[in-house]
């Protein structure tokens, strides 16, 4: 019997609706949703902000010790990139095909995003992800900084109990992932006295912030980490300081002043020297720029977080 084509959507036959000079979707179209993920909103008493929380659907039952957890900051951008590589729980893979990275253990991925229509809420992340500056911030875009301590309390004291109420969590297997300003937050968090995570991946961390405040703190003794910190990965794109292309002198001076490659290498060396019991790795990726390192890390951090 011949297949009958579906009836056309009548909303598509009308002239496109334009609002504010931009096209609007037909009434029958719905916002896109990520597959194999849940989402909810949570307001923090510590920061006063509303957050959009993304939760992966585990593809395997929890291990006896509970799920290891990967906490991904800038979740509106990082979580979708990571979720592409996660095995799907809905149906078994076809014979001979892998559901995701080979041997990926059971784990839970939590994306923490600012409640915004943008993948990056520039001002909110500048406030939430930075320590209190002790001099000019070096940021020409945002008006407020220094909320890292309050945001850390939100992550550990507010969000973590909400997730733990729904899933058994392995208390010894928490990984924090951040990029750029949230990479700065990741470095700042691993250097705190109690370091509430065991593994840390900082992709292109903004170590230039406030006249290289994070570097000055590492050199002053903050490089000595809590004993339970197991693994640290610091990454940066080679193009972030040493571009292959010919750029205007002003741009080259900006890259040289921030010294992303040099500072990541120096930070890793300081951490490794002070913590022989901890695995500290750094990587300067050739032909990668700043945003490349978000995509680079969002996929690779899964093995980092969930492998033994």
Higher pLDDT, 251 or 89: 251
pTM metric for this prediction? 0.89
> Which residues does residue 298 pair with via DSSP β-bridges, in sequence order?
none
Helices (H), the chain: 75-83, 122-128, 148-153, 160-164, 181-190, 209-217, 249-258, 260-274, 290-306
Q: In the chain, helix, strand, coil percent, each to 5?
A: 35, 20, 45
Q: What is the mean pLDDT of residues 48-77?
A: 95
The confidence score (pLDDT) of residue 98 equals: 54
Which sequence spans correspond to the domains of the chain? 35-88+105-306
* For residues 250-265, average pLDDT: 96
pLDDT digits (tens, 9 = 90+) for 10-22: 545 555 565 556 7
Write out pLDDT tens, residues 148-169: 999 999 999 999 999 999 999 9
- pLDDT value, residue 19: 57
DSSP-derived 3-state class of residue 26: coil
What is the rounded (10 degree) CA torsion for 258, 263, 267, 270? -130
Look up the CATH architecture of domain 35-88+105-306.
Answer: 3-Layer(aba) Sandwich (3.40)
Q: What percent of the chain has pLDDT over 70?
A: 88
Q: How far apart are CA 58 and CA 39, in angstroms?
A: 14
């Amino acid at each position: 019997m011949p297949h009958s084509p579906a009836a056309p959507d009548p909303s598509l036959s009308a002239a496109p609706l334009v609002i504010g000079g931009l096209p609007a979707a037909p009434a029958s179209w719905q916002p896109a949703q990520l597959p194999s993920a849940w989402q909810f909103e949570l307001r923090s008493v510590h920061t006063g902000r509303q957050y959009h929380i993304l939760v992966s659907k585990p593809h395997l039952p929890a291990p006896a010790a509970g799920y290891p957890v990967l906490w991904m900051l800038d979740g509106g951008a990082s979580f979708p990139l990571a979720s592409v590589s996660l095995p799907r729980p809905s149906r078994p893979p076809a014979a001979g095909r892998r559901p995701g990275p080979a041997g990926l253990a059971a784990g839970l991925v939590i994306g923490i995003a600012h409640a915004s229509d943008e993948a990056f809420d520039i001002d909110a992340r500048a406030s939430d992800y930075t320590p209190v500056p002790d001099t000019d911030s070096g940021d020409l875009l945002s008006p407020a900084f220094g909320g890292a301590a309050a945001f850390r309390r939100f992550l550990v004291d507010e969000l973590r109990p909400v997730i733990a109420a729904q899933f058994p969590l392995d208390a010894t297997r928490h990984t924090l992932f951040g990029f750029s300003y949230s990479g700065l937050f990741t470095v700042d968090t691993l250097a705190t006295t109690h370091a509430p995570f065991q593994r840390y991946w900082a992709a292109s961390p903004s170590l230039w912030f406030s006249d290289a405040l994070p570097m000055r703190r590492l050199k002053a003794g903050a490089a000595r980490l809590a004993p339970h910190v197991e693994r640290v990965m610091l990454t940066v794109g080679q193009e972030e300081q040493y571009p292959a292309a010919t750029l205007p002198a002003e741009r080259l001076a900006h890259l040289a002043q921030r010294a992303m490659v040099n500072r990541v290498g120096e930070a890793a060396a300081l951490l490794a020297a002070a913590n022989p019991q901890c695995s500290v790795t750094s990587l300067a990726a050739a032909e990668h720029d700043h945003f490349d390192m978000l995509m680079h890390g969002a996929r690779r951090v899964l093995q980092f977080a969930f492998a033994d």
